[in-house]
Chain A
Amino acid sequence: MIRFARVHKEYARSGAALTDVSFQVARGEFVFLTGPSGAGKSTILKLIYAAEKPTRGEVRVAGVATASASGTTIATLRRTLGVIFQDFRLLEDRTAEANVAFALEVTGTPRAAIGPKVARVLTQVGLASKGTSFPAELSGGEQQRVAIARALVNDPTVLIADEPTGNLDDRATRGIFQLLREINAAGTAVLMATHDLDLIKRTECRTLEIDRGQLVFDTASVGQGR
C-alpha cells in the first residue's frame, strides 16, 4: 500500500530531513509513527500524501510513484487517502456538515449523493446530532471527529493522522484513538504520527520510530509489541 525505498529528503534551507528511510505499510495495517519533535514524522506523512517529493529514493503509494506523478495523478491519489492534523484544519465559517460535504463537492461528487454520504460519516464518528454546529461550537475532540469524517467521506484506503490527539485531553484522546481503531477494523489502513508513548504502549500496533531523519526502530522487524 505504502512503500518507502531508500528515501532521502533534503530541504534547501534546513538540510537533510530524512536519510535512507525504507519501510512498507500493508493494506489494512495500523501503524504508529513516533519520534521526538523535528525527527521527520511530518515529512514522512507529507511524502505519502505527495505534498513533498523525495530528493532521492522512491515513495510509492497505492502503486503511484509520487516523484514522477502528474498533478492530476496526485489529485486522484489523494482521493484514496484521508488526512487529519493536530489543528483539525476545519473551515470556521461552515457547519460540520458543510465541512464534510466540502471534500465531496471539490472532488466532483453528484449533489444528490452528498447529503446521504455526509450523514453516514457523521454518524460513524458519533456526531449525527452536531451536523449543523460550527467548529467554534464544538469541543476539540468533536472538531477532530469532524476532520476524521471529512477524511473518511471519500472512502480512503489509508488514513494519515499527523498528531491527531496532540491538542486533546486524555478522554478525547481515548475517544479519537478508539474511533481510529474502529476505522482500521473496517479495513482502512491507518498511519498515525504521535509522540504519546502511553498510547503506543497500551496497544500492540506496529510502531516505526524516527530519530534525526532515520528509521531507528520498526516493531515489525522484531515482532509485535514493545
Chain B
Amino acid sequence: MSAIRQALRSSQRAPVLSLLSITTIAFSLFAFGLFGLVAINIQATLTQIEERVEIRAFIADGTPIEAVSALVGDAGAFPEVQSADLVTAEAALVRAREELGEFSDIFDATILPASVDVRLREGFRDPTTVAAVAERLGTYAFVDDVRYGEEWVEKLFRLRSIAGIAGLILGGTFAAVAMIIIGATIRMTVLARAKEIEIMRLVGATDAFIRRPFLLEGLMKGILGGLVALILTWLAHRAIAQWVVATAFFDLPLMLLGITAGAALGVVGSALSVGRQLRDRA
C-alpha cells in the first residue's frame, strides 16, 4: 500500500517527467502497433488468398459415379485435405459462366469435364504438399488431368515466406528500438531521483523497499502508455478504414498482449535502471 502511495506521489511530484515517459512508452508502442496492424492485415490477406489454393482433378468421361464418389471419400480422408467436392459437368458449366461473365456465351454445351475439387487445410498449402496431393490424385486411373496452378502456388508461398521474415526482422527492430527508448526514458526518471534513492539507503531502507515504488511506477506508466498506444493505433485503423482501405484490427488477446507488453517494458525498464542505480551507489 505504501509502495503504491509512494509511486503515485513520485509521479505527482514530477508530472512533466511522468507525462514524458508515458508519452514515450505510448509512441514507441504506437509505432510498434502500426507495424503490427500492417503485419496482421498482410497476414490476413495472404491467408485469404491461400484459402483459394485448390487442386482440381478432372474426371474422364463415362466414369461410374461410384468410382468418383470413392475418390471424393478417399481424398477427403487425406490428413492435408480440408474438403473434397465433386463438381459435375453441369455444375462446372454454371461456374464457368459465372466466373467468365461476358464470355459466358461460348459455354453453350457440356464441353467441360466433371472434377473433384480439393482444398487443403491451413499449414498444408505449401508447394510441396500441394504437388504431393495432386500426384496422389493423379494415380487414379479415371483421373484425366490434375491442375493446381503450380507457379502461382510457388509465388504465393515465396511471398508468405518473405512477408514472414520481413515481419520478424522489422518487428524485432521496432521492439528493440521501443525498448531502448523506453529504457532510456525510465533511466532518466530514476536519475532524476538519484538523491532520493541515496537518502533512502542512508536512512536504512532495504533495496527491495527502494525498488518497489519504482517498479510500480514503471508498471503504471507501462499500462497507461500501452492503453494510449492502443487508442492511437485504433484511431489510425479507423482513419485508414474510412479513407483508404478496409483493415482488420487486433483481436482482444492481441490488445491485451499489447498492454501487457507495455506493462512488462515499464517494469523491466524500471528494474534494470533502479538496479543499476543501487549497484552504482553501493
Contacts and interface: CB of A to CB of B under 8 A. Distances in A.
Interface string A88-118: 0101010000000011011110000000000
A159 to B, nearest CB: 12
Nearest to B282: A51
A103 B201 CA distance: 10
A91 B195 contact: yes
A71 interface: yes
B6 A154 contact: no
Interface in B212-256: none
Interface stretch (A73-81, A170-178, A187-195, A198-206): A73-81
Interface of A: 49, 51, 71-72, 75-79, 81, 83, 89, 91, 93, 102-103, 105-108, 150, 154
Interface in B181-217: 195-196, 198-207, 209-210
A83 B207 contact: no
B103 to A, nearest CB: 80
Count chain A CB atoms within 10 A of each CB in B199, B202, B282 and give the residue with the most: B202
B195 A75 contact: no
**Could you tell me the dominant secondary structure of chain B's interface residues?**
helix
B2 interface: yes
Contact of B205 (A77, A83, A107): A107
Contact of A107 (B204, B207, B281): B204
Interface of B: 2, 6, 13, 195-196, 198-207, 209-210, 281-282
A107 B203 contact: yes
A154 B205 CA distance: 12
Contacts of A49: 202
B199 A91 contact: yes
Given A91-B195, A93-B13, A105 B204 contact: no
Contact of B2 (A51, A77, A93, A105): A105
24 contacts: A51-B281, A72-B206, A75-B201, A75-B205, A75-B206, A76-B204, A77-B204, A78-B201, A78-B203, A79-B204, A83-B202, A89-B202, A91-B196, A91-B199, A102-B200, A102-B203, A103-B199, A105-B2, A106-B203, A106-B209, A107-B203, A107-B204, A108-B209, A150-B203
A52 B13 CA distance: 31
Contacts of A75: 201, 204-207, 209
In the complex, the 8 A-B pairs of residues with the closest C-beta atoms, listed nearest first: A79-B204, A78-B204, A106-B205, A103-B203, A75-B206, A106-B200, A75-B204, A107-B204
Contact of A102 (B2, B199, B206, B207): B199
A125 to B, nearest CB: 16
A138 B197 CA distance: 23
Given A71-B207, A106-B203, A107-B204, 13 more contacts: A49-B202, A51-B282, A71-B206, A75-B205, A75-B207, A79-B203, A81-B204, A89-B195, A89-B198, A102-B200, A106-B209, A108-B2, A150-B203
